[in-house]
Structure 1
């Protein structure tokens, strides 16, 4: 599977695993609330990178990169809310937010690379 070699996939998967670990310490009554939203957003990121890499069309690949980016932005928003609700500490938020920012840049650059590939066809 080619997607497993992609740095953006590796970073997204690692982020997802750590987000799942982080949610284990959130209040149990949020299991079907913010925890569900956070984990669904997180797992959507590497999943869409993987799905997009399996598409033959560059336009479809770009679409799935964009969906992954959108899920990353959702995750960022949800973690900010979790911080304000005191479900995560400022330190936890800062650490994960740096990784989100790094992945956002890399996803953007990956999309740009794919778009340049279309232009050169």
Structure 2
């Protein structure tokens, strides 16, 4: 078992959750039940799946949760691109957040690869 609170993939994902909430607070009101809800649910899903997977008794089971977490990370990235295309955030903010999500995706993939090798 892994202590999820000590995993860098979890701590970085938790920071992304805060970033997502801060960002979506600036979106138009009509997006409240659309993109705002979707982005925040995806962001929350990333560290949540890491935490849930860490409780599993085998690395194989943990890896499945990491796969789900990675899927949510790619989904969030897509929603970020949509938000940028709709002019809901600046190019500077977009670039910063895109770098963060890509970094998280790489970390999750690397961690998963390490689990699968053992």
Q: Return the TM-score normalized by structure 2.
A: 0.96
1:17-32 to 2 correspondences below 5 Å: 17-32=18-33
Is 1:100 aligned to residue 101 of structure 2?
Answer: yes
3-state DSSP of counterpart to 2:44? helix
1:42-53 to 2 correspondences below 5 Å: 42-53=43-54
1:6 Cα deviation (Å)?
0.3
2:74 is aligned to 73
CA distances 1:72-115 after superposition (whole Å, capped 9, x unpaired): 00000001000000111111110000011111111110001100
**Structure 1 regions of 5+ residues with no counterpart?**
none
1:29 Cα deviation (Å)?
1.0
Count of residues in correspondence between the two structures: 117
Q: Return the TM-score normalized by structure 1.
A: 0.94
- Matched residues in 2 for 1:14 and 1:41: separation? 13
3-state DSSP of counterpart to 2:30? helix
CA distances 1:32-64 after superposition (whole Å, capped 9, x unpaired): 011111001100000000000011121110000
**Structure 2 regions of 5+ residues with no counterpart?**
none
1:54 is aligned to 55
- Matched residues in 2 for 1:6 and 1:70: separation? 18
